[in-house]
Structure 1
Amino acid sequence: MEFNNDDPYKRAQRKVKELKGFYAHATVYIIVNIFLVLSQMGLFSGNFHVGLPVWGYFTTPFFWGIGLFFHGLMVFKDRIPVLRNWEEHKIKELMDREEKEYKNTFKDDYL
């Protein structure tokens, strides 16, 4: 449940931009890591060598993959029920708390 005053076209446009960003991120991730694997296998040993230590070939995909995972969570959060329900629950909780504080403020003024 989103309380956004943007028009539907702008929301859709923003969502498409987020999706394009994620797909570009995933594409670059795949291309770079294929290159790293081929380099580690010695495909470029004749004329070209990256020169990374052995652990560098594994840490790059691992940590970059973690970043890509969280990027995907942010882009697709509306499709993941757990995240969507948590967000709706948190919004309701904060609104209820604010309403309670607001009522208590005026209640103290009249006593």
Structure 2
Amino acid sequence: MPAPLSPEEIEHLARRRAGAKMGWYIHASVYLLVNLALFAMSDFGFGHRHWQRFPLFGWGIGLALHGISVFMLGKGSAFRERLVERERERLRREQERR
């Protein structure tokens, strides 16, 4: 079991996590605004070839990966902590066998 965190460590970790989440929310907002503008430009003057789908999907993949890294794989996330605990237990069992 990991050692308890000091109040300073808790503050640092909380600020770091909040900053990462805020970064994703800003990224998602910009994605939404830019893609709405691209769709508007496509429908009102730049042809009807649906070219706006390419940046939508490409950037969407990047946004999804950013979200995974922040919400699932970031330090202290529940998913990551479960993986770390499983790995820790596996290593303990291997060491006991030796």
Q: Which has the higher contact order (CA 8 A, sep 6+)?
A: 1
What RMSD in Å do the two structures reach over aligned CA positions? 3.3
Matched, 1:64 2:59: yes
SS of corresponding position for 1:56? coil
Alignment-derived partner of residue 39 in structure 2: 37
Stretches of structure 1 that go unaligned for 5 or more consecutive residues are 106-111
CA deviations on 1:49-89 (whole Å, 9 max, x unpaired) are 5x8x93531121122122212322332339xxxx835751x
Structure 2 alignment gaps of length 5 or more: none
Aligned counterpart, 2:93: 100
Q: Which amino acid aligns with 1:65?
A: G
Which residue pairs with 1:84 in the alignment?
78
What is the TM-score with the length of structure 2 in the denominator?
0.68
TM-score with structure 1 setting the length: 0.62
**Length, aligned pairs only:** 93
Q: In 1, Cα distance between the equivalents of 2:34 and 2:10?
A: 36
Does structure 1 residue 74 correspond to structure 2 residue 69?
yes
State the shift of 1:100 in Å.
2.8
Q: Percent identity among equivalent residues?
A: 28
Paired AA for residue 58 in structure 1: R
- C-alpha separation between the residues in 1 aligned to 2:96 and 2:67? 40
**Equivalents in 2 of 1:2, 1:36: separation in Å?**
48
Q: Which has the larger radius of gyration?
A: 1
